[in-house]
Amino acid sequence: MGTPWRKRKGIAGPGLPLSCALVLRLWREEPRTQVGTMSPAIALAFLPLVVTLLVRYRHYFRLLVGTVLLRSLRDCLSGLRIEERAFSYVLTHALPGDPGHILTTLDHWSSHCEYLSHMGPVKGQILMRLVEEKAPACVLELGTYCGYSTLLIAQALPPGGRLLTVERDPRTAAVAEKLIRLAGFDEHMVELIVGSSEEVIPCLRTQYQLSRADLVLLIHRPRCYLRDLQLLEAHALLPAGATVLADHVLFPGAPRFLQYAKSCGRYRCRLYHTGLPDFPAIKDGIAQLTYAGPG
């Protein structure tokens, strides 16, 4: 005959946390009248844990609700994407030809209307300072999105500077194109390319006359950062001394990209610690890589 359940070793031993032991005790002492049901006593035992998680990760829950649940609902009700709704707000509240005022309007809309998931003013200051400091002749941006970071770069470019920005989604690219032209930047200064970065990078030299990118901003999908950095290296688009900036390297994170940059021996790395716009408690960062050459 098998050992009775109550006397099996390890069920509530000294190494088991008190809360877990309490739950197990309640579970085995409560009558099981129906398979798949949970008694009120067990549910009550889990309540402190649930409350603790909600309090500790409340910023992440807010972000989840705002960027997934509410955004999807508004998309369905309005028939417009969030970047299209943001552009409509810009049209009625911002000054055409003034990129600084357009950026401020987008920040205000993100803070008071809908979270835009854009770069935001804190990271934006880091980006603009580096563009002004490096004075790149040509900048490559992977991930245009609504055009926020594109305007930041464009207004900090030196005279004669050129910016190529790549966006894979045609509908998003159409909104960004309108925003860029509304800010006063023409196609000679800011050229928007519609396509995936994986397909565009090999064509930059022949199709878009880009022989070198003095500064690259990675702001599309963190999981694609490493692949695209290696593509830029393989096609010799990074001159020695080029700067590569990568956003969202801590949240949601790009660990393989950071590990490669630190271990391959071809980059000097620096990390700027920041928070998400409108969610400063959620820690994020911008990585700055300085390319030393193929080695």
41/84: higher pLDDT:
84
Which residues, at least 6 apart from 229, have a Cβ–Cβ distance to it below 8 Å? 218, 244, 257, 260, 261
Q: What confidence score (pLDDT) does residue 4 get?
A: 44
- Please name the CATH architecture into which domain 118-291 falls: 3-Layer(aba) Sandwich (3.40)
Q: What confidence score (pLDDT) does residue 36 get?
A: 53
Predicted confidence (pLDDT) per residue in 194-209, tens digit = 999 999 999 999 999 9
Q: Identify the burial level of 270 via C-beta atoms within 10 angstroms of its C-beta, where 0-12 means exposed, 13-18 middle and 19 or more buried.
A: exposed
Is the pTM higher than 0.85? The answer reads: no
Range of weakest confidence among 18-32, 164-178, 198-212:
18-32
Q: What confidence score (pLDDT) does residue 64 get?
A: 83
Predicted confidence (pLDDT) per residue in 96-118, tens digit = 999 999 999 999 999 999 999 99
CA 259/CA 274 separation, integer angstroms? 20
Phi first, then psi, for residue 248 (nearest 5°) are 60, 35
Strand 267-276 and strand 279-291: the pairing is: antiparallel
CA angle 170, 174, 180 (to 5 degrees): 135
Looking up tokens 């290696």 gives: 230
> How many CA atoms are closer than 13 Å to the CA of 39, on its beta-carbon side?
14
Token duo for residue 53: 């998680």
Look at residue 240 and tell me whether its pLDDT is greater than 80: yes
The band of 18, judged by pLDDT with boundaries at 50, 70 and 90, is very low
The alpha carbon of residue 271 and the mean position of all alpha carbons in its chain are separated, in whole angstroms, by 15
